[in-house]
Amino acid sequence: MAYRRISIARPLIGDEEIEAVTHVLRSGMLAQGREVELFEKEFAEYIGTRHAVAVANGTLALDTVLKALGIREGDEVITTPFTFIATANAILYQRARPVFADIDPKTYNLDPDKVLEKITLRTKAIIVVHLYGQPADMKAFTEIAEDHHLLLVEDAAQAHGAEFLGKKAGSFGHAAIFSFYPTKNMTTGEGGMIVTDDDEVARKARLIRDHGQERKYLHVVLGYNYRMTNIAAAIGRVQLRKLDTLNEIRRRNAEILTRELKSLRGIIPPYEDPRSKHVYHQYVIRVTAEAKLSRDELAEKLREKGIETAIHYPVPIHKQPLYRELGLSECECPNAEEAARTVLSLPVHPALSREDLAYIASAMRELLS
């Protein structure tokens, strides 16, 4: 097949987004305003929560929601070591202690049984990450949180529109967050969203994001400037309307790749929990010792053929230099460490053509057969 160049991710921005931004620019109301309010309303309705609070990015959403929930110094928060570092860093921002539990080797999400082993008298909350677009076992985590009187936070930064038992990711816990970074299933350029059914959590989150203002120039708590702009919200409103369609294209692309790759020796395609609707923020294969090439060799050979890949994530959080230095590297997490050595993300985004998918499959067969 003819040589192609295929990116690992590509935001789909069309004329509708451009027109929405142009409308905001012409209005002169560029900072947080009516567009943000409408985006919050529409996003809450989509997820199925009472409230949505827009902020400038996903990391700030995590920071804000933990502050609003009252996480503080001395508290322990259990989470996964196998995700982007922002999840754990947000715990550190509160001067609380991240406690890492191992993952399920099939879904790459937190293992509920391993979380149970980590609960102590200091445990205040669990942050569950819906990694790569597949929801974690929210039935199990909801029961654990209720039984042990813990706060439950969903990091749904990679799971816009994903579902578990027919409910949207982000609608199970005390609160959840989303990211709208350009590589996500929907984008605002940069942006984040907090969703919750708790009126008080939403009220506190709104105070925290806007200098602690109860009303203009009346500051009742320590707050920050975490606001989203009308420009970002205008993009987000259009992207939200396209989300389900784009997710279905991702799912179709993933199905095609899995059908083509499942017979290759040493390659384990993504697993989809039958209770879930996976939205394939990433299409992540595992390259085992039976493969003809190592994970890193395969990535390099694919790059030479014009196919961009990525490793999400090559170093678990508890192995990061920062966490070692802070004495937070204690984690019996063999599944997370094995995943870090063997996972590889292939392109799955909606901009791929059928020819692109055929090229990826052909290259994989050529390199591994």
Same domain, 264 and 224: no
Same domain, 117 and 210: yes
Residue 1 placed within a domain: no
Mean pLDDT by 10 residues, the chain (369 residues): 90 97 96 97 98 98 98 98 98 98 98 98 98 98 98 99 98 98 98 98 98 95 98 98 98 98 97 98 98 98 98 98 96 97 98 97 96
Burial of 222-239, coded b for 16+ CB within 10 Å and e otherwise, reads ebbebbbbbbbbbbbbbb
Tell me how far apart the alpha carbons of residues 79 and 75 are, in angstroms, rounded to a whole number: 13
Q: Are strands 123-129 and 76-79 parallel, antiparallel or unpaired?
A: parallel
The residue segments making up the domain with residue 94 are 15-238
Same domain, 286 and 222: no
Instruction: Answer with the one of 204, 238, 272 that is the final residue of a domain.
Output: 238
Same domain, 190 and 262: no
Same domain, 250 and 209: no
Same domain, 103 and 159: yes
Tell me how far apart the alpha carbons of residues 73 and 215 are, in angstroms, rounded to a whole number: 29
Instruction: Answer with the one of 238, 259, 274 that is the final residue of a domain.
Output: 238
Number of structural domains (the chain) is 2
Same domain, 62 and 202: yes
Phi and psi torsions of 62, nearest 5°: -65, -45
Same domain, 209 and 264: no
CATH code at position 270 = 3.90.1150.10
Same domain, 199 and 247: no
Q: What is the DSSP letter of 111?
A: P
Residue 6 placed within a domain: no
SS3 247: helix
| CA nearest to 253, candidates 131, 170, 133, 157 | 133
pLDDT at position 330, please? Answer: 87
Q: What share of the chain is helix, strand, coil (3-state, %, to 5)?
A: 40, 15, 40
Instruction: Answer with the one of 238, 253, 286 that is the final residue of a domain.
Output: 238
Residues 6+ apart with CB under 8 A from 291: 264, 265, 266, 267, 298, 368
HSE-up (13 A, CA, CB side) for residue 247: 22
Same domain, 211 and 301: no
pLDDT at position 1, please? Answer: 64
Same domain, 127 and 248: no
